[in-house]
Structure 1
Amino acid sequence: MQNINTRTLDLNLLVVFATLWETQNVTRASERLALSQPAVSHALRRLRERLGDELFVNGRNGLVPTARATELIGPVRDALTRLDDVLQGSVPFLPGAAQRTFRIASGDFVEFLILPRLIQHIAREAPGVMIEVVPLPPASTLAPLLERGEIDLVISTPMAQGASLRHESITTVSLLTLIWEREGLAPGRFPLELYLERPQVMIEIHQREGNIIDTTLKARGLARRIGVLVQNFMAMPVIASQTGYICNLPGPIARVFAPTFGLSCHEPPVDFPAPELVAYWHNRFDTDPGLKWLRERIKDCAVG
């Protein structure tokens, strides 16, 4: 058997082969390919030499494929069709047939806020798709990880980005302030004096990257007291329930955990801008239809 190396095989020969199969005639094949008859005959001769088979023989009504040609036509057609689709950027993402794992880097906030609805949606529409959530890596490593495809998508609050990254807003989420329910605070806005006096539970990453609460307070000449720094959102209501500290949580999380931990929810004492969630990906995958589909599903599942 001939040792065929696709790196040295002229792919135009396969186009000629598929056209000869369809037309069963060198003249009709040359017309369809806009080539001369000698050029088509030469291409067939080259392909015969490479494959070690006649591929087509003369029959009563035109060219008749050999057994080897019959064996090749299906895979060759599929390969040419897929190549055409890729070059035209038209390969569809079919959720129901897809077998793919998407890796999303995010914090526990995103897991709580978006992931349950996203998984429910995927289970119905794309059962062969798996979502793998990984911790947010250091900001300096995000672009290389996205470029290499080790992470498909990053979902976080707004961050500095290089020219190689694309982004779009997913949603905004208002904050609520929580405190012991037994303190009996009236519903509505949290008292500013108590807010500045009582120690607060704060997530550590916000201290490193800056946050809308302290930025807003500083603009008013105010500052809060930080009593403890934690690594994830889920620890905040637990600590607040055991210490009497204040914590500030995205509304959907606050409303779920407040009754569980004996906390009451209030509007913050001043109007803090609603935190924005943003999706980031590398421009190398900007036209990836699967990634486009995932981003649309995430936006559909985001809670405002």
Structure 2
Amino acid sequence: MHNINIRTLDLNLLVVFLTLWETQSVTRASERLALSQSAVSHALRRLRERMGDELFVLGRTGLLPTSRATEIIGPVREALEKIDQVLQGGSTFSPGTTQRTFRIAAGDFVEFMILPKLLQHISTTAAGVVIEVVPLPDPLALSLMLESGAIDLMINTPAVLGAGVRSEKLATVQLQTLIWQREGLKAGRFPMALYLERPHVVISMHERGGNIIDRTLAAQSLRRPIGAVVQNFMAMPVIASQTGYICNLPSPIAQAFAKAYKLSCHAPPIEFPEPELIVCWHTRFDADEGLQWMRDLVRQCALA
């Protein structure tokens, strides 16, 4: 058996070998490869020397493979297909057959608003996909975690993004103001006097990139009293129902929990800017078909 050093083997010889196998003709192989017949014959001669075998012999119907050629055709074809896949960017992503975990950094609002819709779609079209929601990273660590693949996506309100991080707006978040139903407030806009008198339960400021409500009030020389600061949105209606505090929640959460906790929903006393919800990823994974599919799905669920 000939010892062949793959490091010194011209892979073009294997392409010629595969084409000769498929066409059984130097003439047809030269036409398919856009080479002269002499170039194909020369390549075959070099390959015969390296392999120590004739590989093809002339028969009545054309070139016939030797037993050695028959032995290696399968591995050669498979190797060339894999090289082609790598150079073309990998195999096509198929949601129905993939086995993959996507790690998404997000807060409880995103888990409530998007995750159920996301999983409902995945359960019927991509059973091998797992969604792992992880805590929002420190803004300084976000770029590195996205670049390294420690997380695939981040979904949150806008933050300072590092080099190489892309972002796309998913939706705007409408806010509603909640208080005890027993207050007997009329439907519509929340009264400003009560808004500035009653304590509020608020979300932890540093995790949400600042506070739109307090900035807007301060621009009008107004200030609301703060009674409690919590780490997640889901705690807010519970506290409001037990204390009489005011809370401001994204509309989907407000509508879902108001009845359960005997709270009434109102438009805020003044128009607050509606926070944007964005999805972030790293440019390193722009060509990742699986991640493209996940971003499209997240976008659909955010708009639904």
For structure 1, which segment, 275-284 or 38-47, has the greater mean C-alpha deviation from structure 2 after superposition? 38-47
Query: C-alpha distance in 1, partners of 2:50/2:301?
Result: 54
The residue number in structure 2 matching 1:248 is: 248
Which amino acid in the other structure matches residue 227 of structure 1?
G
State the identity %.
68
The residue number in structure 2 matching 1:188 is: 188
Which amino acid in the other structure matches residue 93 of structure 1?
F
Which amino acid in the other structure matches residue 25 of structure 1?
S
Q: Once the 2 structures are TM-superposed, how far is the Cα of residue 116 of structure 1 from its aligned partner?
A: 0.3
Q: Once the 2 structures are TM-superposed, how far is the Cα of residue 147 of structure 1 from its aligned partner?
A: 1.2
Query: C-alpha distance in 2, partners of 1:14/1:98?
Result: 31
Query: C-alpha distance in 2, partners of 1:224/1:83?
Result: 64
SS of the counterpart of 1:233? coil
The residue number in structure 2 matching 1:282 is: 282
Does the 8 Å CA contact 2:205/2:211 hold for their aligned counterparts? no
Query: C-alpha distance in 1, partners of 2:251/2:39?
Result: 71
Matches within 5 A, 1:1-304: 9-44=9-44, 47=47, 55-67=55-67, 69-70=69-70, 72-89=72-89, 91-206=91-206, 209-303=209-303
Query: C-alpha distance in 2, partners of 1:7/1:226?
Result: 70
Does the 8 Å CA contact 1:103/1:152 hold for their aligned counterparts? yes
For structure 1, which segment, 57-66 or 186-195, has the greater mean C-alpha deviation from structure 2 after superposition? 57-66
SS of the counterpart of 1:302? helix
Shift in alpha-carbon separation, 1:161–1:9, aligned structure 2, 3 A = farther
Does the 8 Å CA contact 1:91/1:289 hold for their aligned counterparts? no
Does the 8 Å CA contact 1:240/1:246 hold for their aligned counterparts? yes
Instruction: Give the alignment's Cα RMSD to 1 decimal.
Output: 2.6
Which amino acid in the other structure matches residue 149 of structure 2?
G
Query: C-alpha distance in 2, partners of 1:193/1:232?
Result: 27
Does the 8 Å CA contact 1:114/1:301 hold for their aligned counterparts? yes
SS of the counterpart of 1:28? helix
Q: 1:92-134 CA deviation, whole Å, 9 max, x = no partner?
A: 3222222222111111110110000110111112112221111
SS of the counterpart of 1:260? coil
Length, aligned pairs only: 304
Shift in alpha-carbon separation, 1:32–1:208, aligned structure 2, 3 A = closer
SS of the counterpart of 1:224? coil
Query: C-alpha distance in 1, partners of 2:6/2:234?
Result: 54
Question: TM-score, structure 1 length as denominator?
Answer: 0.88
Which amino acid in the other structure matches residue 243 of structure 2?
T
Unaligned runs of 5+ in 1: none
Does the 8 Å CA contact 1:113/1:303 hold for their aligned counterparts? no
Does the 8 Å CA contact 1:202/1:228 hold for their aligned counterparts? yes
